[in-house]
C-alpha cells in the first residue's frame, strides 16, 4: 500500500500564532522526500487550516501527487479546476466539526455528485469520494463515475481494541470487495495510527492510506521525516 500524508495539522499549528511557522510547504517537501505517494490537504470552506496560498505554493514546488480534499461546492470545484491537483477527494463538511466526522452521503445526492464530478474529470483530475463502508454508498459512488472511493476508517479506528472492532473491520472488507467488483479503486483513511494500521493489510486491494493526525503527532517527538518513514514501514 502507498501512504498519502495529510499535512493539515501543520497548518493548524502555524495558524495558532498567525505567522509562517511551521511552514506547510516545508512539511510537503519533507513528506515528498520521505516517500509519500501523495500530499493530502483539505481546503475547508472556513480556511481553518490550509489556505489557498498553501495550495498554490505546494502546487508550484512539489512533484508528488497532490490530493485535494474538499466539499462539493461550486467554489471548491472552481479552485480545483484552476489548480489541477492530481486528485480531489470529495468530503462532507460541517463548520462545527473538529474533523471530517462521517462519509459523504452520495446515495441521497447522486445526480448532484455525478454533475459535480464531470467538470473535474474534464480537467483531468482523478476523483475520489470519501464514504462510509456502506453498500449503498459504494453503489452510488459507482453510479456517479468516481474513480476511487476512500473508505472512512473512523468507526473502525474508534472501535479498535473493543468488542466492536471485528464488526467495523468486516464492513470495510465487504465495502472494499464490492467497490473493486464494480471497478472502483479503493483508498482508506481517518483515525489510522501506528497501532491499528497493520490491519489494513488484511483488506484486499487497498491502494493508498491517507493519514494525518497520528503522523503529525508522532512528528512532535521524532521529527516529520522519521514519523512518515515509520508509518511507511508499517504499511508497505
Ligand atoms: N481522509 C480524509 C478524507 C480526511 O478527511 C482525513 C482527515 O482530514 C483523513 C483521511 C486523515 O485522518 P487522520 O487525520 O485521522 O489521519
Tell me: the pLDDT tens digits for 152-167? Answer: 999 999 999 999 999 9
Give residue ranges with CB within 6 A of ligand 1. Answer: 6, 8, 42, 69, 89, 91, 99-100, 130, 150, 189-192, 210-214
Q: Residue 139 belongs to a domain with what CATH number?
A: 3.20.20.70
Range of the domain at 231: 2-235
Task: Give pLDDT, residue 164.
Answer: 97
**Helix 135-143 and helix 165-181, axial crossing angle in degrees, nearest 10:** 30
Q: Which residues contact 227 (CB under 8 A, 6 or more apart)?
A: 215, 216, 218, 219
State which ligand 1 atom lies nearest to the alpha carbon of 8.
8
How much is the pLDDT for 101?
75
Which residue is closest in CA terms to ligand 1's atom 1? 189
33-53, pLDDT tens digit by residue?
Answer: 999 999 999 999 999 999 999
CB 167 within 8 A of CB 135: no
Taking each helix axis from N to C terminus, what angle separates 110-122 and 74-83, rounded to the nearest 10 degrees?
Answer: 20
The C-alpha cell that represents 134 in the structure block: 456502506
* Atom in ligand 1 nearest the alpha carbon of residue 189: 10
Just list the catalytic residues: 42, 69, 190
What's the first-to-final CA gap in the chain, in angstroms? 5
Cα 69 to ligand 1 centroid, rounded to whole Å: 9
Q: For residue 94, name the pLDDT band (cuts at 50, 70, 90).
A: confident
Alpha carbon 235 to its chain's center: 16
In degrees and rounded to multiples of 5, residue 189 shows phi and psi of: 175, 165
pLDDT attached to residue 95: 65
Mean per-residue pLDDT, 4-10: 98
Q: Lowest mean pLDDT: which of 77-86, 90-99, 165-174, 182-191? A: 90-99
> In the chain, how many domains are there?
1
What is the pLDDT of the chain when averaged over all its residues?
97
What is the pTM for the complete model shown? 0.96
Amino acid at each position: 500500500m502507498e501512504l498519502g500524508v495529510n499535512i493539515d495539522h501543520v497548518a493548524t499549528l502555524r495558524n495558532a500564532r498567525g505567522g509562517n511557522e511551521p511552514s506547510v510547504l516545508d512539511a510537503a517537501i519533507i513528506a515528498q522526500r520521505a516517500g509519500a505517494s501523495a500530499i493530502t490537504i483539505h481546503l475547508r470552506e472556513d480556511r481553518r487550516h490550509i489556505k489557498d496560498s498553501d495550495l498554490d505554493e505546494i502546487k508550484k514546488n512539489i512533484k508528488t501527487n497532490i490530493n485535494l480534499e474538499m466539499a462539493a461546492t461550486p467554489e471548491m470545484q472552481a479552485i480545483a479546476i484552476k489548480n489541477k491537483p492530481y486528485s480531489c477527494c470529495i468530503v462532507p463538511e460541517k463548520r462545527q466539526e473538529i474533523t471530517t466526522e462521517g462519509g459523504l452521503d452520495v446515495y441521497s445526492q447522486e445526480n448532484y455528485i455525478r454533475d459535480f464530478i464531470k467538470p473535474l474529470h474534464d480537467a483531468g483530475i482523478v476523483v475520489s469520494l470519501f464514504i462510509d463502508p456502506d453498500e449503498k454508498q459504494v453503489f452510488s459512488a459507482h453510479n456517479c463515475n468516481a474513480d476511487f472511493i476512500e473508505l472512512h476508517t473512523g468507526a473502525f479506528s474508534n472501535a479498535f481494541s473493543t468488542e466492536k472492532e471485528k464488526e467495523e473491520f468486516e464492513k470495510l472488507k465487504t465495502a472494499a470487495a464490492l467497490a473493486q467488483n464494480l471497478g472502483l479503486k479503493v483508498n482508506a483513511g481517518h483515525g489510522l495510527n501506528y497501532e491499528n494500521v497493520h490491519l489494513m493489510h488484511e483488506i484486499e486491494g487497498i491502494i493508498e492510506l491517507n493519514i494525518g493526525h497520528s503522523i503529525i503527532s508522532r512528528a512532535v517527538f521524532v521529527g516529520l521525516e522519521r514519523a512518515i518513514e515509520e508509518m511507511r514501514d508499517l504499511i508497505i
